[in-house]
Each structure stands twice: as C-alpha cells, then as structure tokens.
C-alpha cells in the first residue's frame, strides 16, 4: 500500500514534530528490576517489547540518534529490567521492556518476566502504547502471541513494528506485514496498522517518531 492510500500514514506536520521530538539529547534515566523501584510516571510513556535479538536496542538507538543508549540484548544483568529513557522537555518517556523468548530460559525466569511486565502494564495509567517488535524475517512467533495475550489482558494498546526489513526483499516484507495484520485482527488491544523499520538503513524511523509524537500529544 502506498502512503497516499494508507489512512494511517503520518502527516507532514507529525513527521516534523516527531523529528523535533527526537532531536533532543536523550539519556538513560533508570533501570528497574522490581516494581517497588518504579519511577513515578511524570510523563506519557511508550514502551518497546520483543524477543531477544529482534533489534530492540538498535531501534531505540536509531530513534534517539544516540549510539549505545540502549544496550544490546546480551548485556548480562540488564536483560530482566525495565529501562527508562528521557530527554529535556520531552512530553514522553521511552520504556525498554526486557527481551523475552530466550531458548534456554528456565521457567522461573519466564515467570519473573511475566510478573514484572504484567504488573507494570496494569499499573501504568500513562502508558499510551507498547510497540511490539517483530523480526520481519520470522514473523509472529508463539512467544510473541503470549506477550500479546498479556497486553490484551492488561488492556494496553499495542502496535506491531517490523524490524530489519533491509534483510528481506520488499515483496517478502509486504507478505509478512499482511500475515501479521491478519493474525492480530481479532485481538482486542491491537492497533490495526504496523510500521516497517530498518535501524541499519533508518527506514521507517521517521514514521515511528511521528507516531510517538502523536501519542504524546493526546
């Protein structure tokens, strides 16, 4: 679908406002491993979730233009934490949710992840949206569906962001986009459009910035 036909395509104004929002110097605010450490939500929040290695850190770094702001998934110790990023005068805080779906994760770790994330989701009145990152080469996996179940239960709005689209052909991106939208069509809290991105090529980053600006200005 071209942008001209896409009712969800951002306007020029939103693209510009998104660009300005992310021209600020974004910095790391805090990491939280247990819910009693959660900072007060002083601003609107948007969060990022996805399987480990989906490209979440790369996407946050691309959005903010700060290399190394979000660490890569294999940084020990940070993986089970919620990481918060903010910028001066920004109306929105970014929340990096812990990656999930490690092949060898013991059940106790999965349970701890679920509890941390679900309690966070339920208690965060100013959380506007969770961006659910899906690797465009792999599409939605069962473990992603489990996270969507949590989001549906917590009634937190979520939107699919396809990552690494530079790794596959445009036709394959369209196929995975259509298939993904079909799979979420009956999910109550899912947003009915997705954003295609490549952090390597900066594709779709402007659209995601515009979307975050729009969410922050409700």
**Site of interaction with ligand GDP (CB under 6 A):** 50, 52-58, 72-73, 99, 163-164, 166-167, 198-200
As given in the structure block, the two tokens for residue 217 are 């200005």
Q: Which is nearer to ligand GDP, 48 or 191 (CB)?
A: 48
Q: Residue 217 CB, nearest distance to ligand GDP (Å)?
A: 27
Q: Any idea how long the chain is?
A: 218
CB nearer ligand GDP, residue 92 or residue 162: 162
Task: Work out how close the CB of 118 gets to ligand GDP at its nearest, in angstroms, rounded to a whole number.
Answer: 20
CB of residue 178 vs ligand GDP: minimum separation in angstroms? 20
Query: Rounded to the nearest whole angstrom, what is the least distance from the CB of residue 97 to ligand GDP in the complex?
Result: 10
152 class by beta-carbon count within 10 Å (0-12 exposed, 13-18 middle, 19+ buried): middle
> Which residue, 18 or 55, is less far from ligand GDP as judged by CB?
55
Cβ closest to ligand GDP, residue 93 vs residue 197: 197
Query: Residue 33 CB, nearest distance to ligand GDP (Å)?
Result: 17
Q: What residues pair up with 132 in beta bridges, in sequence order?
A: 49, 160
Distance separating alpha carbons of residues 3 and 10, to the nearest angstrom:
9
Q: How far is residue 149's CA from residue 83's CA, in Å, rounded to a whole number?
A: 22
| Cβ closest to ligand GDP, residue 9 vs residue 203 | 203
Q: Enumerate residues 6+ apart whose C-beta is below 8 A from 201.
A: 166
Q: Which is nearer to ligand GDP, 54 or 216 (CB)?
A: 54
Residues 6+ apart with CB under 8 A from 175: none
The residue number with the shortest CB distance to ligand GDP is: 73
For ligand GDP, the closer of residues 17 and 144 by Cβ is: 144
**From the CB of 61, what's the least distance to ligand GDP, in Å?**
8
Q: What long-range pairs does 25-28 form, CB within 8 A, spacing at least 24?
A: 25/66, 25/87, 25/88, 26/64, 26/65, 26/66, 26/69, 26/85, 26/86, 26/87, 26/90, 26/94, 27/66, 27/69, 27/85, 27/86, 27/87, 28/69, 28/83, 28/84, 28/85
CB of 108 to ligand GDP, least distance (A): 21
């Amino acid at each position: 679908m071209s942008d001209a036909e896409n009712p969800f395509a951002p306007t020029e104004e939103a693209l510009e406002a998104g660009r300005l929002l992310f021209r600020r110097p974004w910095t790391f605010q805090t990491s939280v491993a247990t819910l009693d450490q959660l900072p007060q939500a002083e601003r609107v929040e948007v969060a990022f979730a996805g399987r480990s290695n989906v490209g979440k850190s790369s996407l946050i770094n691309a959005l903010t233009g700060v290399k190394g702001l979000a660490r890569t998934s294999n940084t020990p110790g940070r993986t089970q934490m919620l990481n918060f990023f903010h910028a001066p005068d920004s109306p929105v805080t970014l929340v990096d949710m812990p990656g999930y779906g490690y092949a060898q994760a013991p059940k106790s770790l999965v349970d701890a992840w679920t509890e941390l994330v679900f309690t966070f989701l339920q208690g965060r009145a100013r959380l506007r949206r969770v961006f659910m990152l899906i690797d465009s080469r792999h599409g939605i996996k069962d473990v992603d569906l489990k996270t969507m179940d949590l989001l549906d239960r917590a009634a937190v709005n979520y939107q699919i962001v396809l990552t690494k689209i530079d790794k596959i052909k445009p036709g394959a991106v369209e196929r995975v986009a259509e298939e993904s939208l079909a799979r979420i069509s009956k999910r109550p809290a899912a947003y009915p459009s997705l954003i295609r991105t490549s952090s390597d090529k900066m594709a779709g980053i402007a659209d995601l910035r515009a979307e975050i600006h729009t969410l922050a200005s409700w």
